[in-house]
Amino acid sequence: MHRSVYVATQCSLLHCECPNHTDLTAPWKWIFGVIFCILGSFGAALGMILQKAAHNEHSAKLDNDQIKCLGIYPQNWKWVAGFTVLVLLPLPLDVAAAALTPQSIVAPLSSITILLAQVMAPQILGEKIFISDWIATMLIVAGCAASTIAGDQCSVDYSLEDVRLLFTHEYFVVSEVFFGFAIVLTTAITLIVIPKYVAEGPRNLTYRALGHGILAGMYGGQQNILLKAFGQSMLRILFKGHSTDAEDWVFWMLLGLTISLATVQISHLNYGMGLIDAVKYLPIYNASLIMNSTFAGLIFYQEYEMLTDAGIVVSVGAWMVILCGVLLLVRPQLDEPGPNPDLKHMSDHGGGYQLKVEAPEEKAGLLKEMEGKNDRLC
């Protein structure tokens, strides 16, 4: 058995009090961590909206042989600006928030990104947002708020030696086996099963976007584990003079894995973003990120030890509410266009589209053409 970084004291209804040890907890850490997380959400929301705008412009010019791209990433200033705002600007805020605050608290606070994206998307992208979208968004935010309240409230500073022990804990090892299986299964369904067995059309695009959003959130949850440990090590080096941390191989392993997982995460984020509207896709991605980050933090950092049975029940209930919100967002995208339309067109507001045609054969031809365009991200 490995030692726990927590020593539980008295417990309230939802969680136990933080250990009375100056090296483990300080109230100001939790407060500043929440503030940094909220500020970082602004950059994340704006960055994703700008990247979606770049995909929209790219989709409208797919027939132009002169268009330039790099893999799935359109080469225009909006995508570069979006990447800069999404990654570079919030990065120090996210690192600080992860270092100062339990991951089970930081992750649900990312729901602020969902709200901001829902406000920005209609203004910047011209996308329509309906009452059902707002209801779904409120469900996701409410679930995230409940998860935050029930989560661990302690700001624990983990040394690199603690991180070594946490990596070898049996609960984490078992959870990573299930995570690896889930990644392989979800990837196979998204990249092989859906394109092969689901008919071309809105349902195909929505299922693929859902898969990419889930995958991006899963990789993001794993990345946040490493980002927290790396961020705390950086703070010790910069402000406490612990230069020995930079000489430890674990420090560089954390940095390398964080960058690798972030690269895969952004790739799936962009794949899905090119398929359906931002008001549908971004809440799905953020919900996946929140749930995966919260669960990963509970297991890896053993934050579950500070939760009571009631706290666990509230957390699971909150995740179910988030899931309901995601399903409500996805469902309208699965409806096929009506049988009596009189206009054919591809939406100017993203990869998601609505067909309005007079003849079934014309509809089938347009569906095939648009499906091909969405596959040709670059």
Could you identify the residue written with the tokens 């000489």? 247
Q: Which tokens belong to 178?
A: 């299930």
Selected residue with higher pLDDT from 109 and 51:
51
Beta-carbon contacts of 232 under 8 Å, excluding residues fewer than 6 positions away, are 99, 157, 158
Q: Is the pLDDT of residue 77 over 90?
A: no
331: which DSSP letter? G
What pLDDT is recorded for position 340? 35
d(CA 175, CA 328): 28
Q: Is residue 361 part of a domain?
A: no
Quick one: pLDDT at residue 103? 67
Q: Domain span at residue 151?
A: 27-336
Each residue of 290-346: pLDDT tens digit? 888 888 888 898 877 777 777 778 878 887 887 788 778 766 555 544 333 333 333
Residue 4 lies in a domain: no
- The rounded distance, in Å, linking the Cα atoms of 202 and 352 is 7
Residue 61 in domain: yes
Residue 180 included in any domain: yes
Question: How many residues are given for the chain?
Answer: 378
Does pTM top 0.75 for this prediction?
A: no
The Cβ of residue 92 has, within 10 Å, a number of other Cβ atoms equal to 13
Distance CA 171, CA 376 (A): 42
State the total domains in the chain. 1
Residue pLDDT, tens place only, 164-193:
999 999 999 999 999 999 999 999 999 999
Separation between Cα atoms, residue 298 and residue 305, nearest integer Å: 9
Residues 342, 209 contacting (CB under 8 angstroms)? no
Structure-token pair, residue 291: 């749930």
